[in-house]
Amino acid sequence: MPPDGFVVAMRGRLVVAPGSKRHRRAVDAWLIVSRFGPGGLTLAIALAGAAGADAAPPRLAPRQTLLGQRVAAPPQRPGILFQLLGHWSPGLRIAGRWRAAGGFARLIGSPPALRLIAAGRLAAGLRWRIRAAQQPWIGEWHMPGHARLTLP
């Protein structure tokens, strides 16, 4: 089970569909995924750029950030489910530019083999989906008690 607090890098496949299926576009991307707040209630998924290298660049930085809040998940599905948020509390400080989105995100597994599956629609109507897996990264952080060294 994913820990309640962490910051990790993930490499994933982002598929964007602005309209019909014929116009789908896919790109490999670096993500910074973090879980925080009381009991790990909040999830942040930040797009950090195109993934050209095999290893996570040491200076990954969030560019666009989606937020999610933990919700009850069906017991037959693995992992932890988060509902993506179309609103954001200005008192919550985040890195990167916040993007309103409807949809879901599911965290599966535990570090160093954490996975993310997410899909939704941005406020502008753009549909997207992501499948990503954790990669070793120098900027990784885990809540005390869940610390694991995952560097190569």
Rounded Cα gap, residues 85 and 92, in angstroms: 13
Cβ-based neighbours of 47, under 8 Å, separated by 6 or more: 14, 29, 30, 31, 62, 63, 64, 65, 96
Q: What is the pLDDT of residues 76-92, one digit of tens each?
A: 888 999 999 988 777 77
Q: What is the pLDDT of residues 18-66, one digit of tens each?
A: 766 667 889 999 999 999 988 889 999 999 999 987 789 999 999 999 9
pLDDT band at 110 (very low <50, low <70, confident <90, very high): confident
Size of the chain, expressed as the number of residues it contains: 152
pLDDT value for 73: 79
Domains in the chain with CATH codes: 6-140 (2.40.128)
Rounded Cα gap, residues 112 and 121, in angstroms: 29
Please say if the pLDDT value at position 72 is more than 80.
yes
Pick from 22-31, 59-68, 104-113, 141-150: least confident? 141-150
Q: Mean pLDDT of all residues in the chain? A: 86
Rounded Cα gap, residues 68 and 88, in angstroms: 10
